[in-house]
Structure 1
Amino acid sequence: MALVLGLGCLVLAVFLGAAAFVVRPRATAAGSLALIETSYSAAPPATAATAAASPSWLRSIALRLSPSGVAAGLQRRLDLAGNPPTWTPDRVLAAKGLCLLLGGVVGGLLGVGSVGWFVTGFLVVAAFGFFLPDLLLLNAGQKRQTSIRRALPDALDMLTVCVEAGLGFDAALAQVARNTTGPLARECARVLQEMQIGKSRNESLRALTLRTTVPELRAFVSALTQAGELGVPIAAVLREQAREMRLRRRQRAEEMAQKVPVKILFPLIVCLFPAMFVVIIGPGAISIARVLTGL
């Protein structure tokens, strides 16, 4: 009896497992790509709920004053900024509408003395408040691209060392993503995820160039793509690209050093020269004034 009961339970378990396997939705490459895009470009659940809870009339105000296709442009700038977890296109639009209203109120209060100043202050400060979220988003994107540009030579050196040591390109890219920090490491991890779910290496690297504006990174991806199509060894390409990136970094540092005298010229003229004129010319001016008053 116990044997029959055990066999029945075993058959039931096998039947339930087969039914669960058949009913379970199969994961596809498109679904995995959509999941990756969602995880990198959307806010966490709590943040998304907060963004959805923001007043819709603020977003409608910003949409009425913005050109068509503003949501796509905001998403592009959010991609360049690394998709901060608290920033979404709807939330940026709501912030633009809120800053517009607050700026109008502040500008009106500043020019409350006369009608002309009231209208001028209202329009100027409201326009500044409307474009303030765009400026913050642009600044975040520029800082991220600068961070990627600075980290690229060291990442290429690590890639070159790993590939020449015998690792494949994918394994070397995983080492870069694991042992470095910053936006470039996160982008490398995303490229690896896209390659693991079925995208080709060239497609993943080209998608990387669409999320950045760094010319050096675009040149590196183009060189890798051509090397893969022509059959050139990747180690040689990486070595040449790493040498070129180090040269560009040195040239960029020299350029910034040469800009320093020009940048300190204006503070020097505004702050130091007036004090020097007072110290040097002041006694002579006092003596001249005494002589003229005496005459």
Structure 2
Amino acid sequence: MSMLLIFAIAAIGGAVFFFAELATSPMRTRRNLVHRAANYGRLRTVTGKEMPRFRERALDPFVGKVARLVLRVNPRLTAESVSAKLMAAGMRRTSPTTIIGAKGILLVGGGILLGLAFAGLGWMAPGVYLNGRVRRRQADVAAELPDALDLLSVSVEAGLGFDGAVQKLTEHMEGPLIEEFELALGEIRIGEGRQEALKKMSERSASPEMASFVRAIIQADQLGISLGRILRVQAGDTRLKRQLLAEEKAMKAPIKMLFPTVAFIFPAMFLVVLGPAFLNLSKFFTF
């Protein structure tokens, strides 16, 4: 039993370390890039082969073995589906093996240490985290799309081509949507067809608004319709959808507030209003 407890603690510790590495990966990447840029052009003395880090020596191989075992046990879970979710979440530097391995580690560690219910929670935790990242990124893309379409339409109507308009867009805006446009623009520059690059962008983002925009651009390209007009219409439609979604959320708000009101506010209000009356009644009956 003690060995199982030690193994469970080690598994949970490894999962915590892994998620900490995952969360701090962008910051470390930026720091490394800044360091490389600062040392660019300087002579370096080669002192021999560098020792690989602990993660490369032990953690990554262990997570890979766990991921392969999970894929064999659960054929419905595939690396391709996890990879698609990672792309939709904007976590392009994270390997699908990492997420699958974390699911297995948390499943075993939570089951041994805390019981069957926590084993299920451990299995679902990476997926819940990943789905949350996907939803937040899709919401960010939908929020940024109308302004981006306005800028694209103005640039196209001013005489720029679509590629040049996208370049202007990436220079003046930031965010998840702009990252997708930058990737698509890079693919076009290395020889990818515009339609294929836009389709890949739509698949990566997994956003309905982005899919509608890409379909409109491809149809305009095929039929020879003015891109400026299409972009302006798309911007108006996207704003209208966002307004309708906000109104829908506002209409759902009273229903969502009902349970907290009944559970927390009404008891306190009844206590304040009826408390003195009950005290007076208790004094009356005591006499």
Please indicate, yes or no, whether the TM-score normalized by the shorter chain is above 0.5.
yes
What is the TM-score with the length of structure 1 in the denominator?
Answer: 0.73
Distance 2:102 2:146 in 1: 37
Residues 187-222 of structure 1: per-residue CA shift (max 9 Å, x gap): 101111111122221111111111122212111111
Residues 95-125 of structure 1: per-residue CA shift (max 9 Å, x gap): 1121122202331xxxxxxxxxxxxxx2111
Q: Which residue, 73, 96, 101 being the options, matches 2:108?
A: 101
Q: Which residue, 62, 70, 82 being the options, matches 2:78?
A: 70
Q: Is the 8 A contact 2:89 2:134 kept in 1?
A: yes
Distance 1:173 1:97 in 2: 42
Q: Is the 8 A contact 1:178 1:185 kept in 2?
A: no
Q: Which residue, 172, 175, 182 being the options, matches 2:168?
A: 175
Identify the residue that residue 195 of structure 2 maps to in structure 1: 202
Residues 48-101 of structure 1: per-residue CA shift (max 9 Å, x gap): 94774334442244224422452111111111111342x211111221121122
Q: Which residue, 245, 263, 266 being the options, matches 1:252?
A: 245
Q: Is the 8 A contact 2:102 2:126 kept in 1?
A: yes
Q: Does 1:223 align with 2:216?
A: yes
Structure 1, unaligned runs of 5 or more: 1-42, 108-121
| Structure whose alpha-carbon radius of gyration is higher | 1
Partner letter of residue 104 of structure 2?
G
Q: Displacement of 1:169 after TM fit?
A: 0.8
Q: 1:152 to 1:194 in 2, by over 3 A?
A: same
Distance 2:68 2:221 in 1: 48
Distance 2:80 2:149 in 1: 32
Residues 221-272 of structure 1: per-residue CA shift (max 9 Å, x gap): 1111111111111111111111212222222222233333223222222221
Structure 2, unaligned runs of 5 or more: 1-28, 33-51
Could you say which structure has the greater relative contact order, defined with CA pairs below 8 angstroms and 6 or more residues apart?
A: 2
Identify the residue that residue 45 of structure 2 maps to in structure 1: none
**Runs of 4 or more off by more than 6 Å in structure 1?**
43-48
Q: Is the 8 A contact 1:54 1:91 kept in 2?
A: no
Distance 2:227 2:258 in 1: 47
- The size of the alignment, in residue pairs, is 237
Q: Does 1:284 align with 2:249?
A: no
Which residues of 2 match residues 21-36 of structure 1 at below 5 A?
none
Identify the residue that residue 15 of structure 1 maps to in structure 2: none
Q: Which residue, 99, 102, 113 being the options, matches 1:92?
A: 99
What is the TM-score with the length of structure 2 in the denominator?
Answer: 0.75
Q: Is the 8 A contact 1:81 1:141 kept in 2?
A: yes
CA RMSD of aligned residues (A): 2.5
Identify the residue that residue 26 of structure 1 maps to in structure 2: none
Q: 1:84 to 1:200 in 2, by over 3 A?
A: closer
